[in-house]
Structure 1
Amino acid sequence: MSVPEVIPIRHEPDYRTSTIGRWQGGQFFASVTAAFPEGWRGDDWQSQKRWCAVLHRFDGASRHLDSRIQFTGTTADDEKKAIDAARLLLAQWLNALPEQRYQDIAIAPFEVRFEGALFGLVVEEDASEGDNGVWAEFHPDGLGFNAPWDGCYDT
């Protein structure tokens, strides 16, 4: 089964998709997440694990408009402080969205790179899995969407 052009994502209050929905200009996916630079290898993961606030906006036709991403600190510096700063920043961004409301969304795959890290809803494929080896992964949040494409995700 192939990946649909527009992938549904279910709003789940108080969980990983609690800050998704619609606004006057279309749809949004917002989160506080940690990102590693692409291709990073090594033992010093704490200094590479960067916490950030992320707000992706989409038009009414589910196409990516823009992304607002800001790193707030690393796990090595002070993880709690970095997460709290990202939450505060994200709340400000969400409050500024006109007519913002939380609900299910459906968006097209997209990719954004920011300071060496991958963000977006990216189509992935593992040929060794046959028909089950195609899915869409929300990076860096680690949410996997697959058939039956009902908005539910795996982590």
Structure 2
Amino acid sequence: MSFLIVKPRKVPLKIEILEALLRRLPFNHPKIPTIQTALTNRKAGYKGELESDYHLSLLPEKDYFILHDIRLPHNDTFFQIDSLIICPGFILILDVKNFYGTIHLHPKSDQMVREYEGKEQGFSNPLVQAKRHLYLFHN
């Protein structure tokens, strides 16, 4: 392979923080369920990113540079990209989502709805995030 991982993927700091917090809290602390839910969601996202790494490893032998989990400045703030793939012909912003259930995208309301076990849950539409990242990256 001739692709080069310029910035490897690491366990996200937020996962490490949430795990440390759970180790330090008393077992009956009222915030534990909230923290556990946040940790489960973060771990699912990280698992999805790791699964995407397998597919990236199948890229044909070509000149690719891959940067994982990069934070780029824009004006007075920053934005984060899961993976940035750079090659001679294009640059690809890869943002990984790892949802279970049935997903419906509603472009008119900029919302995504997940159906799972008879329940619906709303999320922001990832297409809006992708368009925002493209705009910020161009700027």
Q: TM-score range by the shorter chain?
A: under 0.3
Q: Calculate the TM-score normalised by the size of structure 2.
A: 0.25
The structure in which a higher percent of residues are helix is 2
Higher relative contact order (CA 8 A, sep 6+): 1
TM-score by length of 1: 0.24
The structure in which a higher percent of residues are strand is: 1
